[in-house]
Amino acid sequence: MSTPLGQADEALRQIQAQPSYAAQILLTTAAVLRIQPSRPLHPRVLDIALGFGADAIVGNLPMPVAMDAMDKARAALPPVGDTVTNGEYALRLVSIAKTV
């Protein structure tokens, strides 16, 4: 039988194993970009995809939490190259999400 302290430790381990809100925003943004993977990435499309990601992940959280996660996600975005496709950029986001 587990003790309350053991249950609390397990709950904490599970929480720590979850990706951060910023990482979840990046992963959701990547999923949106993969809808049309072969299209050249346009900065406006990235902004729209990032907006969808933020709304899905932090849209119902308190504003300070949501803003912090968005700031971290935006800070982690790699530059948009002239010839990168949505799919290529999505792969970069998935890779970066592991670090935020």
In a domain, 67, yes or no: yes
Backbone angles phi, psi at 89, to 5 degrees: -65, -35
Q: Tokens standing for 31?
A: 């999923």
- Return the amino acid letter for 8: A
DSSP 33-83: HTTSTTSBP-HHHHHHHHHHHHHHHHTTS-HHHHHHHHHHHHHHPPP--TT
Domain region containing 87 = 19-97
Residue 85 lies in a domain: yes
The answer to whether position 43 is within a domain reads: yes
Which pLDDT value is given to residue 61? 95
Position 46 confidence tier, pLDDT thresholds 50, 70, 90: very high
φ/ψ of 77, rounded to 5, equals -65, 130
On whether residue 7 sits in a domain, the answer given is no
- Across residues 84-97, what is the average pLDDT? 97
Range with the lowest mean pLDDT among 2-11, 52-61, 64-73? Answer: 2-11
Asked whether residue 71 is domain-assigned, the answer is yes
CB burial string 23-53: b at 16+ within 10 A, e below: bbbbbbbbbbbbeeeeeebeeebbeebbebb
Number of domains in the chain: 1
Higher-confidence position of 82 and 65? 65
Half-sphere exposure (Cβ direction) of 100: Cα atoms closer than 13 Å: 25
Q: Does residue 2 belong to any structural domain of this protein?
A: no
Enter the pTM of the model. Answer: 0.85
pLDDT tens per residue across span 24-36: 999 999 999 999 9
Q: Identify whether 14 is part of a domain.
A: no
